[in-house]
Structure 1
Amino acid sequence: MSKDIVQIFDTTLRDGEQVPGCKLDTTQKLVIAERLEVMGVDIIEAGFPISSPGDFNSVNEIAKLVKNATVCGLTRAVKKDIEVAAEALKPAARPRIHTGIGTSDSHIKHKFNSDRSKIIERAVAAVSHAKNFVDDVEFYAEDAGRTNNEFLAQVCEAVIKAGATVLNIPDTTGYCLPYEYGEKIKFLKENVKGIEKAILSCHCHNDLGLATANSIAGVINGARQIECTINGIGERAGNTSLEEVVMVMRQHPNLNLDTNINSKLLYSTSQMVSQKMGMPVQPNKAIVGSNAFAHSSGIHQDGVIKNRETYEIINPEDVGVNESSIVLTARSGRAALAYRAKKVGYELTKLQLDEVYQEFLKYADRKKEVVDNDIHEIIASSKVNIESLT
């Protein structure tokens, strides 16, 4: 059975860049955009054109560069925003305008001092105006996670009639639980007239650490686009992590879902974005963190050395990591020491290993991690007669 393709909408260059201190210049954005296209990203949200001349220029240059992916520009439900975005996107082979407005009662009352009927009018007007410039118009219902489902369905139906091709259902504050977000997507699939004319999209934030889970719940219930960023960067606690949702779908074939992403480029792309944005990747970050395939516990190390799948559900090579890492610490066992010793040129017998291991523990108690150079010293200190194989 062929798998349904979930489109990957990368907003690293727009939502990701909104992190304080992560400003990119146009040259840096072009390098990242080119990598995203090579990696297989379907839609690249290049920026918010009206926000500054620099952002306009970046969107315009990315629109010239990218040939296969859709290039998207963000706007508010404001006529001038839409016109500026359309101008920036003119060179794009596949342009998309992403426009929208807040739909939760909180946004309607406190942000817009308006009412539901006027919000629908503004939403329809924005989509209709965008359709004058591009065929592909995505509508975002900001704070959809806290929006009444019946009203959200009314908004979606109205903007589909106005020509929206994609409906972005953001959990803007990261508030939803996965079952709630999944039920919201399911409700829209079942209750919005004309829903077959549009793609439902998940845009989830990570304030409660649920962005990946919510996005997966969304696609299980019928969404076919996920909006995400490399390394999960984004405002506050960040956005849905691209590498996580891609590998969740790939590791669970029973979902019958996949993406066009070349997963072997995930790790190198993560490192590129981290370096250019000056935003370190936390070591325990899923998929691309430095510890994602590292093992220091003796029990785990022994299992991985015997059979990698004992403690790893992903082959490191599938995401562009050369191999699992056996890290020597005071919690490491004999199997790990023998494995690393062989890597640097020593084939230890069982009796030799027992002797060397006692010396190793003395080193390991003094250091956080025993590195390759230490192994030579440990073997020399152990006074065991061992000849190097190298």
Structure 2
Amino acid sequence: MTADTASPIQAVSSKDRVFIFDTTLRDGEQSAGASMTFEEKLQVAELLDAMGVDIIEAGFPIASVGDFEAVSEIARNTKTAVVAGLARAITADIARCGEAVRHARRPRIHTFVSTSPIHLKFQMNKSLDQVIEIIHTTVTQARGLVEDVEWSAMDATRTPIDDLCRCIEAAIRCGATTINLPDTVGYATPDEYEAMFRQVIERVPGADRVIFSAHCHDDLGLATANSLAALRGGARQVECTVNGLGERAGNAALEEIVMAIRTRGDRLPYVTGVKTPMLVQASRLVSSVSGFAVQYNKAIVGKNAFAHESGIHQDGMLKNTETYEIMRPEDVGVRATSLVMGKHSGRHAFKEKLKELGFDLGDNAMEDAFRRFKDLADRKKHVYDEDIEALVEDEMTSAGESVKVVALTVIAGTGGPQKAIITMDVNGTHVTKEANGTGPVDATFNAIKQIWPHEAKLSLYQVHAVTEGTDAQAEVSVRLEENGKIASGRGSDVDTLVASAKAYVSALNKLSVRRAKSAPAPADAEPVRVGERI
């Protein structure tokens, strides 16, 4: 690689440098039900930039006005990372993408076209020669708009190697600076994927002037293994998502790629620029905004990733942590120990605990959180760090909402219909209603609907315990859909029904805000109030 042929991302020429390309906001958001709001995308992008991700694929600009605006705003605000937009091999897509990323300090257009026989026959109805002509036209167009162009061969792993080499050569000749060879359907095995990269790098003229990239899906559970195999084959960019979010079975997980490289330098002699102590923070943020809970035993960022219950394991850990831990928890943002908090703890201890957990609250928010903590401590024998995180995050989520849950009473059992009586704070006024239902949760939601009539459909209702034990806090996630708009809400409480009510009301508040933003009322129109249909 020479200085005059290097793209902006290729300024670092060390052979062991691996560039992390995060596509959480594009491929990750394509997970069914994982749509994010404009504000949530900006929040995720800001954290990814601060974390040291090299390239942020901010979205698919031509997909919608909202996606275009999100990519444009991320391009304006990102301080360090390259900002990429995705475009099909269509001139209108590329023009729209170029417009979206043009304000970035380091813009990239990422364009793709299918190359495999099955895609050409059944999806595109085109010959390989026609596809090569498309590559020539669209990559040339993209390079005329930005200096940094990534070209992807969709379904590369099911493309004959000779055909793939012809397509790659055309893309490089027309100005592509990064060549991505995705395992689009998660079909490859590690040895096959490594060999594919070795062959094309050896055979294609100009391969030494570009960076090769891996993009793996997890349909067979091989996404991380395949991505690491690609590095051995010569790739120096890995495309991945936080928590492995993505279509179908998801993508290679960013945290797994980064920590595998960091932990196994003896077998993977590479480095990344990611600040690993921020991995857990990123995982929690993406889980929150997408509504997709992280499984407890998820590698690196799962709740149990650094938990030890077995007596044998605990004995080993007390003697030497390396007996059962190959990574230090603090290296990924997990605390090594937990201070048990209880009802006798005072404000000073609670405030210090909040600082340890990464929360910096103002005086009023601190008092509200302390009050909720004391209430929780009266109902629980032990209050764990996870309990405190849940109640503070719940308080922060509800701050500024116009409607809040004040009190809930539910009558349930085998002897009759389930009944819920709920009191809600509506713009400073307490309103109480009651309703029946087929179960206690149904009755609770029906009672809320008496106060806040709506037509939103419940598409997800999920409950999990924050900590162990019968007195554990419940954390409830709710997703509502209304006229194509999706909103997720979360609530936590030792009472599962109260947590459910909080989550439901939180989602309704978000839906109301999004509806108002997408359809601005005339200047003289009355605002929508609770009690009216949204």
Normalising by structure 2, what TM-score?
0.61
- What aligned pairs does 1:31-46 form with structure 2 within 5 A after superposition? 31-46=43-58
CA positional deviation for 1:306: 1.2
Contact map agreement 1:11 1:229 (CA 8 A) in 2: yes
Aligned pairs for 1:180-329 (under 5 A) are 180-254=192-266, 255-323=268-336
Q: Which residue of structure 1 lines up, in the alignment, with residue 409 of structure 2? A: none
Distance in 1, matches of 2:230 and 2:102, equals 32
Matched residues in 2 for 1:5 and 1:280: separation?
A: 32
How far, CA to CA, are the matches of 1:197 and 1:100 in structure 2?
19
Distance in 1 separating the partners of 2:48 and 2:169: 32
Give the Cα separation in 1 of the matches to 2:469 and 2:322.
25
Distance 2:313 2:133 in 1: 59
Per-residue CA shift, 1:251-306, capped at 9, x if unaligned?
11122201000000001110011011111001110000001011111111111121
Could you list the runs of 5+ residues in structure 1 that have no partner in the other structure? 326-343, 345-367, 374-390
Q: Which amino acid aligns with 1:193?
A: P
- SS of 2:212's partner is strand
Task: Tell me how far apart the structure 2 counterparts of residues 145 and 30 of structure 1 sit (CA, whole Å).
Answer: 33
Residues of 1 paired with 2:118 and 2:94: CA distance?
A: 25
Alignment of 1:124-203 (within 5 A): 124-203=136-215
Q: Displacement, 1:188?
A: 1.2
The aligned residue for residue 410 of structure 2 is none
* Partner SS state of residue 46, structure 1: strand
Distance 1:250 1:3 in 2: 16
Deviation (angstroms), 1:4: 1.2
In the TM superposition, what is the alpha-carbon distance from 1:54 to its structure 2 partner?
A: 0.2
* Runs ≥4 residues deviating over 3 A: 368-373
> Which of these residues, 79, 86, 96, is aligned with residue 91 of structure 2?
79
Query: 1:123-175: per-residue Cα shift (whole Å, max 9, x none)?
Result: 12110110110010000100001111121111111110000000010000000
Q: Aligned to 2:81, which of 64, 69, 88?
A: 69
Q: Which amino acid aligns with 1:309?
A: E
- What letter matches 1:171 in structure 2? D
Q: What letter is aligned with 1:260?
A: G
The whole-number CA distance in structure 2 between the counterparts of 1:251 and 1:86 is 38
SS, match of residue 234 in structure 2: coil
Cα pair 1:127 1:139 within 8 Å, conserved? yes
Q: Say whether the 8 Å CA contact 1:86–1:97 is kept in structure 2.
A: yes
How far 1:241 moved relative to its partner?
Answer: 0.2
Work out the CA distance in 2 between the residues paired with 1:10 and 1:284.
Answer: 22
**In 2, distance between residues paired with 1:5 and 1:46?**
23
Q: For residues 156-213 of structure 1, what are the alpha-carbon distances to aligned partners after superposition, in whole Å with 9 as ceiling and x for unaligned?
A: 1111000000001000000000100011011111111100111000000000000000
Question: How far off its partner does 1:114 sit?
Answer: 1.1
Deviation per CA, 1:304-351: give whole Å up to 9, x if none.
1211110110110100000168xxxxxxxxxxxxxxxxxx9xxxxxxx
Of 13, 20, 43, 2:32 maps to: 20
User: Relative to 1, partners in 2 of residues 1:369 and 1:36: Cα closer, same or farther, differing over 3 Å?
Assistant: closer
* Contact 1:100–1:126, Cα closer than 8 Å, also in 2: no
Instruction: Flag structure 2 segments of 5+ consecutive residues without an equivalent.
Output: 1-13, 339-383, 385-466, 473-534
Whole-angstrom CA distance in 2 between matches of 1:199 and 1:3: 11
Match of 2:120, as an amino acid? I
Q: How many angstroms apart in 2 are the aligned matches of 1:322 and 1:63?
A: 34
Supply the distance in 2 between the matched residues of 1:297 and 1:13 (Cα, whole angstroms). Answer: 38
- Going from structure 1 to structure 2, the CA distance change for 1:369 and 1:60 (only over 3 Å counts) comes to closer
Distance 1:242 1:124 in 2: 32
Higher helix fraction: Structure 1 or Structure 2? 1
CA distance in 1 between counterparts of 2:189 and 2:110 reads 26
| Number of residue equivalences | 333
Q: Distance in 2 between matches of 1:173 and 1:131?
A: 28
Matched residue SS, 2:145: coil
The Cα offsets for residues 219-269 of structure 1, whole Å up to 9 and x where unpaired, read as: 111100000000000000000100000000001112220100000000111
Assess if the C-alpha contact under 8 Å between 1:131 and 1:137 holds in 2.
Answer: yes
Q: Within 1, Cα distance between the matches of 2:214 and 2:136?
A: 21
Alignment of 1:345-356 (within 5 A): none
Name the stretch that deviates more: 211-220 or 17-26. 17-26
Map 1:82-93 to 2 at 5 A.
82-93=94-105
Q: What's 2:463 paired with?
A: none
Query: Matched residues in 2 for 1:242 and 1:188: separation?
Result: 25
Using the size of structure 1 for normalisation, the TM-score is 0.83
How far does residue 369 in structure 1 lie from its aligned partner after superposition?
Answer: 4.9
> Of the two structures, which has the highest relative contact order with CA contacts closer than 8 Å and spacing of 6 or more?
1
1:162 maps to a residue whose letter is: C
Tell me by how many angstroms 1:372 deviates: 11
Q: Distance in 2 between matches of 1:372 and 1:298?
A: 23
Give the Cα separation in 2 of the matches to 1:95 and 1:183. 31
Q: Which residue of 1 aligns with 2:519?
A: none
The letter of the residue matching 2:328 is N
Q: CA separation in 2, counterparts of 1:324 and 1:141? A: 47
Residue 80 of structure 1 deviates from its aligned partner by: 0.3
Q: Structure 1 pair 310/324, CA: closer, same or farther in 2 (3 Å)?
A: farther
114, 134, 137: which one aligns with 1:122 = 134
SS in 2 for 1:253: coil
Residue 356 of structure 1 is matched in structure 2 by: none
